[in-house]
A and B are shown apart, each in its own frame.
Chain A
């Protein structure tokens, strides 16, 4: 009736997903609540406003935002191809996917910075009423998360170059790309409420 304890390593039983992925999933859950709070604040403000956007305020360009959205969504698909490559041991597909995602993510951030400066030139700033405040703080929060996601993908890239991952050991790739998908999805919602739902 002896309990079969592990003969090496820690004395745990792995249940379901791996420990690293479980942590990332829970972290993303907390991030969802962060953005959930911001979305709740946004709708609270929007509901009590007389007009949204307030009169005389520069309207956001749904087409430009849509292009940015497409770029980010495509980068998510490409990052997923990278994971497929990592799992299949296809190193060039792996590298291509990660590099493609990083490139498109960088274009997204650059595009957003360009839009921010454009809007500021045209008079919409974080100080111009609660409309500007919500726009800049929410997109700013999201942009910071995109940059964090890019940093993780960069680490994946550097480690991939030194052949740090194998078809069976690629936890950090999975976790980083999962996070990347998360920032994609948040952006789709942000685009929907900030640009489209007028």
Chain B
């Protein structure tokens, strides 16, 4: 197997040391790791806010927090989880692994990359600083619907800091998306054709297209809200010819595609994990790509299913309902691709695989109850109840977060050269799985029993107490599972020996063909690439008596 040597660029010689090596870096791997550290820290922060929310709701009339404090907690919980964790964490994995997986040396624009990274802690600081200004943080829910977010009802500065923070995160996302797209377009290794790119890369590409086209619309409507609050424009004020529904139209034009921005990278991760731990190629490689692209395209047409209760015209309602249900088709295609990959495979249940399988089960529940929401008459009943909270957590926690942890356990050896502990990892997985079902399954029932979302208190005797208590216990179980993850992380980082080697899982993709962690220039040499599984091809070629099939 002949390979071509790649000379190192000269500028790598001038390197910073210590902390400066991280603060001033433009290396995609360091940037990726910092993305992951920042976003996971925000995940924990958002998790603490969730615990406060669940503590307040544990039973009727706990009276733990004032209504205003509670409103801030659930608003900032969702805003943190969505804007500061689950959206940028995909960019974190993308940063570290997309260039490695396509055999590139770095991202196309390393300095824009660093800029996009550092905007995230800045935006986080701005958003969290709002707890300390008069009136407290944003408190109208992460959807920030006017007129509630007008100056009349939200006179404090919290809403403005929220707008500023989300606006900055939008700039970061768009910078990252352009970077991913140009990197993928122009920097693939010889032989890495589009139809040989790893699924994870494809999913980052689809995500980036969604970011590129959806985020600017959010920037526009956030500006309208800001000028309504500050300059006195009348976009959302019906007395002056405005309309608060305009906010919902433009907000959801971003925020529905954003749901796929949040889930597609996780789908990409498990599409890498499942074949490796099933010892089989991905079943239906092209189908997974087409399904991902179809989800992306359809995702742009269904935002009004968040607005059925506002009284849309009948044709719009029917179209939105049908298109929404149609998204279940490509999602189902992917589901069968993953199951077909596992079918008759030699499955090893390592922690990454457990999280990937957890994704399948939890995402299935979230997908099915999502179809309920799509049916207009059912939606009229379920709209703004705890059913919706349940649905979003099965998709985003059961889906995205399980996928993200699958990625962390799968790629930690590549990033550090060390394994995360299997025992602690399995405890983490099972506690998280049990905790999430305890936390979110009862919310289906609460929703059907009519419990509205975003209420700070409820009266006893409505049949809500028991289910809320179970949900709160589940939330704290998830928190305990995270303690096992944190222990595992530091134990591995501080005490584990570097035993992972280049290719601990016998992976398929190029990142396993360099050292762990990879050198700054990524690859000393690249193999020939003639399939979507170059590492597998190489391994097979080295085994006597077996030729790579392609």
Chain A contact residues, CB within 8 Å of chain B? 1-16, 19, 22-23, 26-27, 29-31, 33-38, 40-41, 44-45, 48-49, 54, 126-127, 129-134, 136-137, 141
B9-A9 in contact (CB<8A): yes
B234 interfacial contact with A, CB 8 Å? yes
Smallest beta-carbon distance A1→chain B, Å? 5
Q: Say yes or no: A3-B188 contact (C-beta < 8 A), given A11-B104, A130-B241.
A: no
B526-A5 in contact (CB<8A): yes
B250-A41 in contact (CB<8A): yes
B6-A11 in contact (CB<8A): yes
B232-A127 in contact (CB<8A): yes
B250-A40 in contact (CB<8A): yes
Could you say which residues of chain A place their CB within 8 Å of the CB of B62? none
Chain B contact residues, CB within 8 Å of chain A? 2-7, 9, 103-106, 108-109, 174, 177-179, 181-182, 185-191, 212-217, 219-221, 223-224, 227-228, 231-235, 237, 240-243, 246, 249-250, 253, 523, 525-528
Q: Say yes or no: A45-B104 contact (C-beta < 8 A), given A11-B526, A13-B190.
A: no
Q: Say yes or no: A48-B243 contact (C-beta < 8 A), given A27-B178, A37-B221.
A: yes
Could you say which residues of chain B place their CB within 8 Å of the CB of A30? 174, 177-178, 212-213, 215-216
B241-A14 in contact (CB<8A): no
B182-A23 in contact (CB<8A): yes
B5-A133 in contact (CB<8A): no
Could you say which residues of chain A place their CB within 8 Å of the CB of B249? 40-41, 44
Residue from the set A12, A26, A126, A130 with the largest chain B CB neighbour count within 10 Å: A12
Closest 10 CB pairs of A and B: A37-B217, A133-B233, A34-B216, A5-B4, A12-B187, A130-B241, A37-B220, A127-B232, A33-B216, A2-B2
Could you say which residues of chain B place their CB within 8 Å of the CB of A5? 4-6, 190, 525-526
A34-B219 in contact (CB<8A): yes
B234-A129 in contact (CB<8A): yes
B246-A10 in contact (CB<8A): no
Smallest beta-carbon distance B323→chain A, Å? 18
Smallest beta-carbon distance B221→chain A, Å? 6
Q: How far is the CA of A26 from the CA of B185 in the complex (A)?
A: 12
Smallest beta-carbon distance B236→chain A, Å? 9
Q: How far is the CA of A6 from the CA of B240 in the complex (A)?
A: 63
Could you say which residues of chain B place their CB within 8 Å of the CB of A2? 2-4
Could you say which residues of chain B place their CB within 8 Å of the CB of A129? 234, 240-241
Q: How far is the CA of A84 from the CA of B384 in the complex (A)?
A: 59
Could you say which residues of chain A place their CB within 8 Å of the CB of B179? 23
A130-B242 in contact (CB<8A): yes
A16-B234 in contact (CB<8A): no
Residue of B217, B223, B241 near A45 (CB, 8 A) is B241
Residue from the set A6, A9, A11, A27 with the largest chain B CB neighbour count within 10 Å: A11
Residue of A4, A22, A41, A137 near B246 (CB, 8 A) is A41
Residue of B9, B182, B216 near A10 (CB, 8 A) is B9
Could you say which residues of chain B place their CB within 8 Å of the CB of A8? 7, 9
Q: Say yes or no: A31-B216 contact (C-beta < 8 A), given A5-B5, A37-B221.
A: yes
Could you say which residues of chain B place their CB within 8 Å of the CB of A26? 177-178, 181-182, 212
B242-A11 in contact (CB<8A): no
Residue of A22, A44, A126 near B231 (CB, 8 A) is A126
B224-A41 in contact (CB<8A): yes
A22-B186 in contact (CB<8A): yes
Could you say which residues of chain A place their CB within 8 Å of the CB of B219? 34, 37
Nearest to B187 among chain A residues (CB) is A12
Smallest beta-carbon distance A51→chain B, Å? 10
Q: How far is the CA of A137 from the CA of B189 in the complex (A)?
A: 45
Q: Say yes or no: A14-B253 contact (C-beta < 8 A), given A3-B4, A130-B240.
A: no
- What are 8 A-B pairs with beta-carbon distances under 8 A? A6-B6, A12-B189, A22-B185, A30-B216, A33-B217, A37-B216, A44-B249, A130-B235
Q: How far is the CA of A134 from the CA of B7 in the complex (A)?
A: 55
Q: How far is the CA of A137 from the CA of B223 in the complex (A)?
A: 9
Nearest to A5 among chain B residues (CB) is B4
Smallest beta-carbon distance A11→chain B, Å? 5
Q: Say yes or no: A10-B235 contact (C-beta < 8 A), given A1-B2, A5-B526, A44-B246.
A: no
Q: Say yes or no: A44-B4 contact (C-beta < 8 A), given A30-B174, A31-B216, A127-B232.
A: no
